[in-house]
Amino acid sequence: MKIDTKKRSVSLPESADMMMVDEVRQALVEMHGRSDKRATIDFSRTNVIDTSIVQLVASASKSFAGLKLTGLDGKPYAARLTALVEGAV
Amino acid sequence: MAAPGLDTFIQEANELLETIGRKVLDMDNVADDDDDELINDIFRTAHTLKGSSGIFELTGIQSTTHILESLLDALRHHEIEFDPVMVDVLLDGFDKVKEMVEVIEDGGDHTEVDVSDVIAQVQGLLPDKEEEEFAEIHIAERSQGDWLTNDARQAAFDAANDGDGSLYGFVMNLEDGIFNFGIDPLRLFDAVLSLGEVLYQEVDASGVPPLADLDPYNYHLQLTALVAIPTANHDQFIEEFDMVAELGEVWYFHSGGATTMDGSAALAVEASGEAIEGIKIPLGPVHEDFLDECAELLAEVDSLAGDAWRERLEGLAHSLPAMLSLTNPDALIHHHAGAMQRYIAQQENGSADGVKQAAVILRRFDEALRNQTAFAVSTTIQSTSTQGAAPATPPGGDDAASASVEGPAEHAIHAAAVDEGSQCLLNIAHTGEMFGKNAIYLPAIQERVGRIGRTMAVACAALGVRDAELQESIAKLFALDEDTAAALVGGALGNVHKALDSLVKVMAGAATVAPAVAAKVEQRGSADRRQGDRHDEKSATPTKRRQRKEAVFGQTIKIEQTHLDQLMEMVGEMVVAKNALPYFERELTTRFGVPEAAAELRERSAVIARISDDLQNLAMRMRMLPVSHAFSRFPRLVRDTARKLGKQFALEMTGDTVMLDKTMIEAIVDPLIHLVRNSMDHGLEDPEGREAAGKPAVGNIHLDAWQEGNHVHIRVGDDGKGIDPDKMRISGVSKGMITHEEAASMSDTEAQNLIFRAGFSSVEKITDLSGRGVGMDVVARSIANVKGVVKMTSKVGQGTDIVLTLPLSLAITKVLIIHQEGQVYGIPAQDVMETISLTPSQIGYSGGRPIIAHRNSVLPLFDLSACFAQQETTLNGVKGEMRVAVLQLGTMRVGLIVERIERDMDIMIKPLPPTLQDLPHITGGSILGDGRLLFILNTEALLDGGEA
């Protein structure tokens, strides 16, 4: 996992799950403490995610005015996450 | 081919079932205060069994144990009152599980064991919840109107082509602690969706809080879908939800109307919406005490001034690190405690105004812990995190390890560590169960087991116990990858479970904590000492004391019995080889003329003899088991038989820790069962009969064991009506076993001992318990086969005592070496009472047979050579002194005249070669130190022939 506080982005590893969900959450909370405008979660390296990550994305989308998800192309979970962030479901 | 590790499962299942059986019987006897703990204990053991069976996909055992768990669960949550009949139901139920294990062991299909009676019996005890409890899964069928709650759903439904009635709409609303079970709800959701064509799916995240409030380990989604599922997949649709049985609410509608699924699914009822009990984890004493502290503090919130109240709050903070370090990180309580710790740390540096807020948080925390439901304290924590608060201690990890030494008094740490170990076991059992259902995947298993390993490392460090085996088995589990075959994963998980089980037993037996811990505990302040005292009081409940007394576990390894047999055999060979040294020592002097070398050899021989004796004793001890292995079945037997006969018995057992060779224990079980049954069936009167005889209505049965020298005595006694010698005489004559004259000349004891003759039964009524006339003689013969002796004393109206006297071990036998006609023979030393010398003048005759008066009784004499020749003994013409071995054979004492008596010796008896096995007088052979062959006499057969 890679956290870039300047770019306000978190790049998730190949398999993102409960093992690192709290670490990601804390990074996002820290970013949120500085500004609640935008944050990016990068899934370009991530093949597998679990429910805790989906929840985290849903939570982050409620906290940041502009939550951006990148690297979703071709990922099996892309539609679900996009729908969550867009509030379509 | 059997799955890897199945043998281990069978062995473990048998041990668990034995434990369960013993504890279920205790349910009848324990005081009310101890009931909860006992039932919890049984529940946990049953749960472990269920989990282990899940690893091997033994669905029959899983489901039957689950049903029995339901009864235990209702009891422990006081949903039903205890009724003695429940003991019978549980015993019957676990008997069925044992039968299943036996079937598996024999390679059969265990699901063919009929458990319908067990189900019906448990259902009968849970009338209000029967369907809910026995639905294989907790899913409910509802109307489609319940599902069609918004336009999007309605549109999807309208658009669906439901010509064949295969449309299913469902809602998954799972418990917020579902992650703790290693279940990934979306993974399950996708698995169900894959069964058909997805027409609509909805991941409702409205319940997910914003980041600051999010506890990422709690689940907040609701999943909804509409799927067209082919008829062939209907059952699988239901089965997929099985993995979340009892962990939430799943309901569905089926557009085809009444469900076409199997009956088990139709049993489902709507979930009540109450908190799910399944995720609760029993609290240990540290947690319970902490909660008591919370309760006291809350009670004083109005009466204490702000500073005083905060001081008390800080006192609580002292207890938290220990509670955290000894808490399974998988438990919700761990998260709550971690949050509370952070909060209190902040309050210590906060303002007095925070006290009021602290009371609110504390109350919620207290409730959450007691109910083990989630609560959100994180908002407060986050909002105060900028006030320069002390850094939060992360749950688990190294900080937790160091925190453990700051815990309460050592006994509390000990008890808590054992309790946490038990909870980790429960957790692994859960994991195994989920894995058996394909409901959890390897990374999740590794994560959970890893956390358990860290928890145990902390607990072990606190107790100074080594956990290397557990950590090694965990490392092996971590070495697996997702491509590993399921059976291997199951086996590795089983090994972790086994290692943890052993570790918990070791921890239970660990009497002290590590010195460093004890020293630091000693340095604690008086407030903590008070708390320690309270722990002491609490932990010293009768049940705790009993458990600690029983918890005599050490570090053990399991060894195949054949290896022990081989070891014993080799020790026997060594004993024989050692016996050669004295001969060689003599030869050195007499034949080779080097007495100095003989003296040197004598010294060396003494050392070898001592080591050999020690090794022999050690090898014998390794084969020893406590007599409790034979005794443990009798409480159940007596209880069941009492019900069957309509009598009342009290069984008292003593000496069940006396050790006996395993072979011997196996040999005495059936005879003991027969003796105890005889006591219950024939010896002890019914309540009316006893009261008429002036005795208490409850008949007493004693089962005692004690050791004397190289023998163990086991007594089966009762205070029943005793054996009437006159009835025995009449019965003996009527059966043609004795003549009227013999009956008249018999002593009362001799008449009573007729009971040991083949085919004798003084009871007119033959029952299925005893009285078939094949009992006591078989008992006597069985005991004689293991070189034991049966002795009975009985008094009319007062009762009967039967004492079995058994050698400690069959492997090495002490014999008396004698010489006859140039050959060396051994007489089992247990048969030899003494050796005496006789002169012809001391011998008299009765009916032509030689006798002597010896120790106030008449001793018949037999000559060994005459016995070999199957001739009557005549001592005509014998001159000089004769050597006689006085033998005790059953109830008879005789004198055996031999040419020369040498000495006694430990030998290992070997079976004779086939060509010599027809010799009735010889039971086996051995090699003496000088190479001579030693034949072991079968004295009973020998004297039968001699008598003939």
* Residue A38 structural domain: 2-86
Which amino acid appears at position B121 of this protein?
Q
Q: What per-residue confidence (pLDDT) applies to B519? A: 34
Which amino acid appears at position B345 of this protein?
A
Q: Beta strand pairing status for B849-854 and B844-846?
A: antiparallel
- Stretch among B226-230, B249-253, B407-411, B934-938 having the lowest mean pLDDT: B407-411
Which pLDDT tens digit goes with each residue over B457-514? 766 766 667 888 888 888 888 888 777 777 788 888 888 888 888 887 777 765 333 3
Summarize the confidence of residues B552-568 as an average pLDDT: 70
Chain A touched by B945 (CB under 8 Å):
no
Domain finish residue from B547, B579, B605: B547
Of B331, B437, B178, B443, the residue nearest A52 (C-alpha): B178
Looking at the structure, tell me whether residues B703 and B820 fall in a common domain. Answer: no
Instruction: Please answer yes or no on whether A89 and B179 come within 8 Å at the CB atom.
Output: no
DSSP B154-192: HHHHHHS--TTS-EEEEEEEE-TTGGGGT--HHHHHHHH
Looking at the structure, tell me whether residues B165 and B191 fall in a common domain. Answer: yes
Number of domains chain B is built from: 5
Instruction: Please answer yes or no on whether A56 and B214 come within 8 Å at the CB atom.
Output: yes
Chain A touched by B479 (CB under 8 Å):
no
Q: What per-residue confidence (pLDDT) applies to B221? A: 93
B223: tokens are 């999943």
Cα angle for residues B583, B587, B588 (degrees, 5° grid) = 120
Looking at the structure, tell me whether residues B665 and B752 fall in a common domain. Answer: yes
B202: nearest CB among A25, A52, A89: A89
For residue B806, the 8-state DSSP code is E
User: Where is pLDDT greater, at B947 or B72?
Assistant: B72
Task: Count CB atoms within 10 A of the CB of residue B798.
Answer: 14
Chain A touched by B185 (CB under 8 Å):
yes
Which pLDDT tens digit goes with each residue over B221-269? 999 999 888 777 777 787 777 666 667 778 888 775 333 222 222 222 2
Q: What per-residue confidence (pLDDT) applies to B682? A: 86
Give the domain CATH number at B884. 2.40.50.180
Task: Indicate if the pLDDT at residue B94 is higher than 90.
Answer: yes
Looking at the structure, tell me whether residues B702 and B606 fall in a common domain. Answer: no
Chain B contacts of A19, Cβ < 8 Å? Answer: 447
Chain A touched by B382 (CB under 8 Å):
yes
What is the average pLDDT score of chain B?
74
Residue B407 in domain: yes
Cα B606 from Cα B602, distance rounded (Å): 6
Which pLDDT tens digit goes with each residue over B738-778? 888 888 888 898 888 888 887 675 444 444 444 444 478 87
User: Where is pLDDT greater, at B398 or B367?
Assistant: B367
Residue B783 in domain: yes
Task: Using DSSP, state whether B841 is helix, strand or coil.
Answer: helix
Summarize the confidence of residues B31-52 as an average pLDDT: 75
CB of B903 within 8 A of CB of B817? yes
Cα B527 from Cα B539, distance rounded (Å): 18
Task: Indicate if the pLDDT at residue B807 is higher than 70.
Answer: yes
Place of tokens 């009261």: B691
Give the domain CATH number at A65. 3.30.750.24
Cα B647 from Cα B651, distance rounded (Å): 13
- Stretch among B28-37, B212-221, B273-282, B620-629 having the lowest mean pLDDT: B273-282
Q: What per-residue confidence (pLDDT) applies to B349? A: 47
Chain centre to alpha carbon of residue A75: 14
- Stretch among B95-104, B487-496, B521-530, B734-743 having the lowest mean pLDDT: B521-530
Shortest Cα distance from B613 to chain A (angstroms)? 58
Interface test with B, best of A35, A51, A77 (most B CBs within 10 A): A51
Looking at the structure, tell me whether residues B630 and B587 fall in a common domain. Answer: no
Instruction: Please answer yes or no on whether A25 and B220 come within 8 Å at the CB atom.
Output: no
Question: What share of chain B in percent tops pLDDT 90?
Answer: 12
Looking at the structure, tell me whether residues B708 and B639 fall in a common domain. Answer: yes
- Which residue of chain A has the CA closest to B184? A51
Q: Beta strand pairing status for A15-16 and A48-49?
A: parallel
Give Dmax over CA atoms of chain A in angstroms.
33
Instruction: Please answer yes or no on whether B221 and A84 come within 8 Å at the CB atom.
Output: no
Give the domain CATH number at B225. 3.30.70.260
Q: What per-residue confidence (pLDDT) applies to B824? A: 92
Q: What per-residue confidence (pLDDT) applies to B409? A: 39
Instruction: Please answer yes or no on whether A15 and B443 come within 8 Å at the CB atom.
Output: yes
Of B79, B88, B69, B65, the residue nearest B128 (C-alpha): B79
Q: What per-residue confidence (pLDDT) applies to B800? A: 94
Place of tokens 């008292």: B652
Q: What per-residue confidence (pLDDT) applies to B133? A: 39
Looking at the structure, tell me whether residues B229 and B320 fall in a common domain. Answer: no
Cα A86 from Cα A67, distance rounded (Å): 10
Q: What per-residue confidence (pLDDT) applies to B643? A: 81
Chain A touched by B569 (CB under 8 Å):
no
Chain B contacts of A48, Cβ < 8 Å? Answer: none
Shortest Cα distance from B187 to chain A (angstroms)? 7
Shortest Cα distance from B107 to chain A (angstroms)? 40
Residue B823 in domain: yes
| Most confident by average pLDDT, A49-58, B137-146, B206-215, B633-642 | A49-58
User: Where is pLDDT greater, at B382 or B783?
Assistant: B783
CB of B720 within 8 A of CB of B699? yes
A89: nearest CB among B203, B212, B217: B203
B402: tokens are 């160091």
Task: Using DSSP, state whether B817 is helix, strand or coil.
Answer: strand
* Number of residues assigned to chain A: 89
Residue B261 in domain: yes
- Which residue of chain A has the CA closest to B201? A89
B817: tokens are 């070496």
Number of domains chain A is built from: 1
Place of tokens 């990934």: B184
Separation in Å, CA B797 to CA B467, B489, B722, B725 = 58, 64, 6, 12
Instruction: Please answer yes or no on whether B447 and A55 come within 8 Å at the CB atom.
Output: no
Separation in Å, CA B570 to CA B576, B578, B581, B913 = 10, 12, 17, 19
Summarize the confidence of residues B444-453 as an average pLDDT: 78
Instruction: Please answer yes or no on whether A56 and B205 come within 8 Å at the CB atom.
Output: no
A55: nearest CB among B208, B212, B443: B208
Q: What per-residue confidence (pLDDT) applies to B767? A: 45
Chain A contacts of B216, Cβ < 8 Å? Answer: 18, 21-22, 25, 52, 55-56
Task: Indicate if the pLDDT at residue B295 is higher than 90.
Answer: no
Confidence of residue B707 (pLDDT cuts 50, 70, 90): confident
Instruction: Please answer yes or no on whether A19 and B209 come within 8 Å at the CB atom.
Output: no
Domain finish residue from B807, B841, B857: B807
- Stretch among B269-273, B623-627, B815-819 having the lowest mean pLDDT: B269-273
Looking at the structure, tell me whether residues B191 and B332 fall in a common domain. Answer: no
Which pLDDT tens digit goes with each residue over A11-44? 999 888 888 888 899 899 999 988 888 999 999 9
Interface test with A, best of B204, B211, B446 (most A CBs within 10 A): B211
Q: What per-residue confidence (pLDDT) applies to B384? A: 27
Burial of B784 (0-12, 13-18, 19+ CB in 10 A): middle
In sequence order, the 6+-apart residues with CB closer than 8 A to the CB of B639 are B25, B28
Sheet of A66-70: strand order equals A2-4, A9-11, A38-42, A66-70
Looking at the structure, tell me whether residues B506 and B643 fall in a common domain. Answer: no
Interface test with B, best of A55, A56, A59, A81 (most B CBs within 10 A): A55
Instruction: Please answer yes or no on whether B186 and A25 come within 8 Å at the CB atom.
Output: no
Instruction: Please answer yes or no on whether B208 and A58 come within 8 Å at the CB atom.
Output: yes
Task: Count CB atoms within 10 A of the CB of residue B332.
Answer: 25
Looking at the structure, tell me whether residues B695 and B630 fall in a common domain. Answer: yes
Confidence of residue B524 (pLDDT cuts 50, 70, 90): very low
ipTM confidence? 0.95
Instruction: Please answer yes or no on whether A52 and B217 come within 8 Å at the CB atom.
Output: yes
- Stretch among B284-298, B546-560, B810-824, B880-894 having the lowest mean pLDDT: B546-560
Domain finish residue from B580, B606, B623: B623
Place of tokens 């993102």: A16
Instruction: Please answer yes or no on whether A21 and B204 come within 8 Å at the CB atom.
Output: no
Confidence of residue B435 (pLDDT cuts 50, 70, 90): confident
Summarize the confidence of residues B23-48 as an average pLDDT: 76
* Residue B898 structural domain: 813-947
Separation in Å, CA B377 to CA A21, B344, B364, B384 = 19, 11, 9, 11
In sequence order, the 6+-apart residues with CB closer than 8 A to the CB of A21 are A52, A53, A56, B216, B217
Q: What per-residue confidence (pLDDT) applies to B391? A: 28
Residue B64 in domain: no
Task: Using DSSP, state whether B716 is helix, strand or coil.
Answer: strand
In sequence order, the 6+-apart residues with CB closer than 8 A to the CB of A19 are B447
In terms of phi and psi (left: phi > 0; alpha: psi -120 to 50; beta: otherwise), the region of B335 is alpha
Looking at the structure, tell me whether residues B354 and B410 fall in a common domain. Answer: yes
Task: Using DSSP, state whether B649 is helix, strand or coil.
Answer: strand
Instruction: Please answer yes or no on whether A50 and B184 come within 8 Å at the CB atom.
Output: yes
Q: What per-residue confidence (pLDDT) applies to B320? A: 67
Cα B442 from Cα B434, distance rounded (Å): 11
Which pLDDT tens digit goes with each residue over B157-213? 888 766 666 788 899 888 887 776 667 899 889 888 888 888 889 999 999 999 988
Cα B762 from Cα B750, distance rounded (Å): 15
CB of B646 within 8 A of CB of B684? no
Task: Indicate if the pLDDT at residue B722 is higher than 80.
Answer: yes
Task: Indicate if the pLDDT at residue A68 is higher than 90.
Answer: yes
Q: What per-residue confidence (pLDDT) applies to B517? A: 35
Ranges of beta strands (E only) in B129-285 are 139-141, 167-174, 197-204, 222-228, 248-254
Interface test with A, best of B193, B200, B214 (most A CBs within 10 A): B214
Q: Beta strand pairing status for B900-907 and B813-820?
A: antiparallel
Which residues of A make CB contacts under 8 Å with B? 15, 17-19, 21-22, 25, 28-29, 32, 50-52, 54-56, 58-60, 62-63, 80, 83-84, 89
Looking at the structure, tell me whether residues B684 and B791 fall in a common domain. Answer: yes
Question: What share of chain A in percent tops pLDDT 90?
Answer: 56
Chain B contacts of A55, Cβ < 8 Å? Answer: 205, 208, 214, 216, 219-221
Chain B contacts of A59, Cβ < 8 Å? Answer: 208-211, 214
Confidence of residue B376 (pLDDT cuts 50, 70, 90): very low
